[in-house]
Structure 1
Amino acid sequence: MESHPLIICRCEEVTLAELVETAQTYQCTARELKLRTRAGMGCCGGRTCRTMIDQVIQQVTGQAPSHTVPLGYQPPIRPVSFHTLGGHRA
């Protein structure tokens, strides 16, 4: 993989380059990569980046999908609209 400014985790602004560098340096699991970079720990709970984090680990460390422990996913109890989060301001 090449170094890219491509943002994988939009919530925490973690780039592909950061994920690859961390995975290569520490030869970590997907969970460790998440804890070291905060990827997947933003407000979406990893909904948008979880699969990419798993793919980076598989490509960099060579871990087969069966050896990769899936990342924990903690969605909100129920979806909250931006209108509600913004305090009903127009």
Structure 2
Amino acid sequence: MITDDTIICRCEDISYKDVVDAIDMGMSTVAEIKRAIRAGMGPCQGRTCGRLIAQIISQKTGKPIAEVWMPSFRPPLKTVPLKVLAGVDDVEVER
């Protein structure tokens, strides 16, 4: 059973109550809640909690899930070392 203290977004430590409070303030999509309380902004980028947040919104607002959740997973899909982005092969660090 879900209680107010149940963690919905593990990456950002967002509780069920946090999500419901955001809905009560007028947010009605996963994207709005993401921007307001950071739910879905952790390392998983909402892959774990996005559908659950959409279900909560749907239950509280009566809107269909397709209307409240439009997944937008973006790269990078894995961690990329900065040296790859900088185009550096080997970096020597002076100590």
Which secondary structure state, in structure 1, belongs to the residue aligned with residue 25 of structure 2? helix
Q: Which has the higher contact order (CA 8 A, sep 6+)?
A: 1
What does residue 38 of structure 1 align with? Answer: 38
Match of 2:24?
A: 24
Residues 45 and 66 of structure 1: CA distance in aligned 2, closer, same or farther (over 3 Å): closer
Q: Could you tell me the TM-score, scaled by structure 1's length?
A: 0.73
Identity %: 37
User: What amino acid is aligned across from residue 15 of structure 1 in structure 2?
Assistant: S
What root-mean-square deviation, in Å, do the aligned CA atoms of Structure 1 and Structure 2 show? 2.1
Q: 2:32 & 2:78 partners in 1: Cα distance?
A: 27
1:57-76 equivalence runs, <5 A: 57-74=57-74, 76=76
**Bigger Cα displacement from structure 2, 37-46 vs 58-67:** 58-67
TM-score (norm 2): 0.69
Count of residue pairs the alignment pairs up: 79
Q: Distance in 2 between matches of 1:21 and 1:44?
A: 23
Please list every run of 5 or more consecutive structure 1 residues that lacks an aligned counterpart in the other structure: 81-90
Whether the 8 Å CA contact 2:57–2:63 is kept in 1: the answer is: yes
Q: Is the 8 A contact 1:24 1:61 kept in 2?
A: no
Is the 8 Å Cα contact of residues 44 and 75 (structure 1) preserved in structure 2?
A: no
Question: 1:47 aligns to what SS in structure 2?
Answer: coil
Give the match for residue 5 of structure 1: 5
Return structure 1 stretches of 4+ with deviation > 4 angstroms: none
Q: Choose 1 or 2 for highest CA Rg.
A: 2
Instruction: Decide whether aligned partners of structure 1 residues 53 and 75 sit closer, same or farther in structure 2, where only a CA change above 3 A counts.
Output: farther
Please give the per-residue CA displacement for 1:8-34, whole angstroms capped at 9, x wherever unaligned: 111100001000111112142221011
